[in-house]
């Protein structure tokens, strides 16, 4: 029997002593020019980043939009990238899926059974039937969008509904859906007060926290408020701030240096607060 998602996450976070997730949001237009001598420059970029950082992370997040935009070859690029990631490391398919039941089932088949990501980001706007297909296996997690880091998040997420912001109702529903202990929440690092509030509501659920680096989220408050009481269960995603540390032949080495810097900063705050 496969271990639960929570068990796998805790195991890799303890083994690597890291809450760091690297976002492989690889824009083919930003790949160093010398990689275009390879058949799949997007994969070659990913391969070198993974090989240079796999001992420093608990997870890799693949934003599938960057691959789907390339065209039909994306299916192979994602497959090959996932195959390069050690099995013990969490893989997150960031597709923000979520549709009516039969459509959501097809989406879940691609992410959970074809690509076989350990986790998928899901938009809960259409309710439980949009999320449930991603929750069939205890070893796979659905990260439900709660509070996102983008500026226009307030268009809907903060609407007052029965005396509470809409995002709190999303969190409450996600908590009810968590019967298999395989539901998590996406909470942006640019929203520290909301992060603090959400962690109090769901003390034992994993949180995927984007927004550090290019989006200028505060790392100290992310660690302080995003972790559980043991200093775990926060997956802190950094993409552009690591993978684009250099435009030259040494991009993988520079990415490793940036990953070490972020991992060590995160751990310094963990030691301070936990």
Q: Quick check: 216 pLDDT over 90?
A: no
Q: Quick check: 217 pLDDT over 90?
A: no
**What's the number of CA atoms in the CB half-sphere (13 Å) around residue 256?**
12
**Whole-number pLDDT of residue 166:** 96
Looking at the DSSP bridge assignments, the partners of residue 236 are 20, 209
- 96 included as an active-site residue: yes
**Whole-number pLDDT of residue 72:** 86
Among candidate residues 183, 84, 92, 91, the one with its CA nearest the CA of residue 132: 183
Q: Quick check: 18 pLDDT over 70?
A: yes
pLDDT per position as a tens digit, 89-122: 999 999 999 888 899 999 999 999 999 999 999 9
Contacts of 209 (CB under 8 A, 6+ apart): 186, 187, 188, 189, 195, 217, 222, 226, 234, 235, 236, 237
Residue with tokens 């936990």: 274
**Whole-number pLDDT of residue 1:** 67
Contacts of 237 (CB under 8 A, 6+ apart): 21, 22, 23, 59, 61, 208, 209, 210, 211, 212
**Whole-number pLDDT of residue 215:** 74
Can you read off the two tokens belonging to residue 176?
Answer: 């009810």
Better-scored residue on pLDDT, 47 or 215:
47
Q: Quick check: 135 pLDDT over 70?
A: yes
DSSP state letters, 44-112: HHHHHHHHHHTTS-SEEEEETHHHHTT-TTHHHHHHHHHHHS-TTSEEEEEEEE--SHHHHHHHHIIII
Can you read off the two tokens belonging to residue 203?
Answer: 């003390």
Question: Kind and range of the H or E element at 9?
Answer: helix 5-16
pLDDT per position as a tens digit, 177-186: 999 999 999 9
Question: Residue 141 in contact with residue 59, Cβ under 8 Å?
Answer: no
Which domain CATH number covers 209?
3.20.20.70
Question: Residue 186 in contact with residue 192, Cβ under 8 Å?
Answer: no
Q: Quick check: 189 pLDDT over 80?
A: yes
Measured distance CA(91)–CA(208) in Å, rounded: 12
Measured distance CA(207)–CA(199) in Å, rounded: 8
Can you read off the two tokens belonging to residue 129?
Answer: 């039937």
Number of domains into which the chain is organized: 1
Residue 2 DSSP one-character state: P
Measured distance CA(30)–CA(42) in Å, rounded: 9
Q: What is the mean pLDDT of residues 137-142?
A: 96
Q: Which domain holds residue 126?
A: 5-273
Active-site entry in 11, 30, 96, 180: 96
Measured distance CA(40)–CA(111) in Å, rounded: 21
């Amino acid at each position: 029997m496969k271990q639960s998602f929570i068990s796998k996450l805790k195991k890799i976070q303890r083994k690597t002593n890291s809450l760091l997730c690297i976002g492989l949001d690889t824009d083919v237009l930003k790949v160093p020019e010398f990689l275009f001598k390879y058949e799949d420059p997007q994969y070659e970029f990913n391969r070198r980043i993974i090989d240079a950082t796999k001992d420093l992370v608990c997870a890799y997040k693949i934003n599938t939009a960057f691959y789907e935009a390339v065209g039909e070859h994306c299916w192979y690029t994602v497959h090959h990238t996932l195959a390069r990631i050690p099995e013990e490391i969490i893989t997150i398919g960031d597709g923000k899926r979520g549709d009516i039941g039969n459509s959501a089932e097809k989406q879940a088949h691609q992410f959970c059974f074809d690509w076989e990501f350990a986790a998928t980001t899901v938009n809960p706007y259409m309710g439980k039937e949009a999320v449930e297909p991603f929750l069939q296996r205890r070893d796979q997690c659905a990260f439900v969008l709660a509070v996102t880091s983008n500026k226009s998040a307030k268009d809907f997420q903060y609407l007052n509904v029965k005396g509470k912001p809409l995002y709190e109702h999303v969190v409450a529903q996600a908590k009810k859906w968590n019967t298999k202990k395989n539901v998590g929440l996406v909470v942006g690092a640019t929203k520290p007060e909301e992060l603090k509030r959400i962690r109090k509501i769901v003390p034992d659920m994993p949180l995927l926290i984007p927004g550090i680096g290019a989006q200028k989220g505060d790392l100290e408050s992310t660690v302080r408020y995003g972790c559980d009481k043991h200093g775990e269960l926060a997956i802190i995603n950094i993409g552009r701030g690591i993978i684009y540390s250099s435009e030259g032949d040494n991009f993988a080495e520079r990415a490793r240096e940036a990953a070490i810097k972020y991992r060590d900063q995160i751990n310094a705050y963990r030691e301070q607060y936990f």
